[in-house]
Amino acid sequence: MMNDYQKSRRTFIKTAGLALGAGVFPSWTGLSGIAASSNTTALFAQPQLTHGIQFGDVLSDRAIVWSRADRPGRMVVEYSFNPDFNDSKRVPGPLASENTDYTARIDLTGLPAGQDVFVRVLFQDINNPRAWSQASYGYFRTAPEHAKSIRFLWSGDTCGQGWGINPDIGGMRIYETMRLTDPDFFIHCGDSIYADCPIQESQIVHETGEVWRNIVIPEVVKVAETLDEFRGRYKYNLLDHNLRRFNAEVPTVWLWDDHEITNNWSPSKDLEDDARYAEKNIAELKYRGTIAALEYAPIRYYPASKGQRIYRKLPYGPLLDVFVMDMRSYRGANNYNRQRQPGINTAYLGREQLDWLKAGLKNSTAVWKVIAADMPIGLQLPDGIDEQNRRQFENFANGDGPVLGREFEIAELLAFVKQENIVNMVWFTADVHYCAAHYYDPGKARFKDFQPFWEFVSGPLNAGGFGPHPLDDTFGPQLIFQKASPSPNQSPLSGLQFFGQVDIDGNSRIMTVALKDIEGDTLFTQDIAPSIV
């Protein structure tokens, strides 16, 4: 039987019709003409919502509502607790201007906990106040105040390796598969775009020899260097009707990794020999890519004094706290990562973020402490060779052995968690383009001063599939499950596209983690009973 929420949602879907998450889009067959241009103003007498709506960072009393117009306009949000909008309230929002690529967001506050919120978004033309866009509809649930069953999803890696939106297979179908699971929210663990991977009109699927076709717009046919090219990457992804529908029904917890700028970037990234880039300055690319990312992500901004910070805690009722990590912005240069003492070259999370995480975990009263990370802990991820012919690494792991290099940070964190008797910490991540379950066991580790914990990996969403990486034994990760591509860069046609589903039972408090494929088939499940302090 349907519950009250499902009944009201079904009524709302019928009422909203095709406007649920819609933007103004011609058919895919016409995208090479009209939709290839970012400026559609001249085609329409009234403002248009060009890329649907998004929700993000939902709490018990507030949520971010995001959208984009095709011209300068005032964003207006109407919301109701009924699908027929008979008790709706109107909230005037900010001006969508050229300075923000006509994106705008409202932090919708004063909401009741555990409530279904139905939303419609409009834009008012600032040059013609009588001209209004059509409404775009969506809905979300606020976080509960009391213990209640929760479902969330996680994954990462969208439109990588040139595998873009393929109209022949219905676009990025995995987003529709995820939508149908009816989650409370979705954690996108990074690589939400691939700024360094050009998307061409077609490419050959090497495992079968068939042709993969892509929708293409001018901003994606080369690596992103200009601000408009970075912006174009996000606009490209939002051409997909599956993603727009998903965004209008499932709030996103957004974080980033490397491809929002360029592959494996760190302060030492050297593009001198990469002929694809005219702009060789990694700091300038980071600056432009960061502007675009923050414009298009449904994230709550921090005050200017906090800078462009994205690490944050999102409490979701008494059962769950989500700690959103940033493993990219505070790292030192990628290097051989085997220094014997911590220092400037071993920074990864950075001192401020690490101390914030320790304090947050210690003070958390939630049953489950979820770490949303952009990279796995114990998988060895290489990043070339340094001048002394030593392997460089992308993340914590640096090969079997004692704690060295960036591993000092994770060792400090894990020892602190044990010392403070912090229980029920689980890590969720993506990045490696396959799915896996890892159990970190101090009894099988070189460094033993920690409590055992789980790490789950999923992805990609719409990108090339890759084979597994070797585990580093420093923290004793045990491979419980994995499914990976048998050859590098298999296309999404192989079916090796993955997401994870997490269910927390409101009565037993048991967390059930499932790894699923693009068809929604469950490949692996793990029940984790909560420890009681």
Summarize pLDDT for 433-487 with one digit per residue, the tens: 999 999 999 999 999 999 999 999 999 999 999 999 999 999 999 999 999 999 9
Q: Can you give the pLDDT at residue 43?
A: 58
Distance, in Å, from the CA atom of 46 to the CA atom of 291, rounded to the nearest integer, reads 28
What tokens does 7 get? 């009944």
* pLDDT < 70 regions, the chain: 1-20, 22-44, 304-306, 533
CA distances 257 to 298, 326, 402, 527, Å, are: 16, 8, 27, 29
Q: Can you give the pLDDT at residue 38?
A: 45
> Quick check: 316 and 251 in contact, CB under 8 A?
no
Enumerate residues 6+ apart whose C-beta is below 8 A from 261: 195, 196, 282, 285, 286, 289, 290
Q: Can you give the pLDDT at residue 305?
A: 67
**Domains of the chain and any CATH numbers:** 4-141 (2.60.40.380), 150-528 (3.60.21.70)
Quick one: DSSP state of residue 150? E
What tokens does 51 get? 């890329």
Distance, in Å, from the CA atom of 154 to the CA atom of 322, rounded to the nearest integer, reads 12
Q: Can you give the pLDDT at residue 29?
A: 41
Q: Can you give the pLDDT at residue 230?
A: 98
Q: Can you give the pLDDT at residue 482?
A: 98
Helix (H, G, I), strand (E, B) or coil at 293: helix
Q: Can you give the pLDDT at residue 237?
A: 98
- The single residue listed with the structure tokens 């990760």 is 477
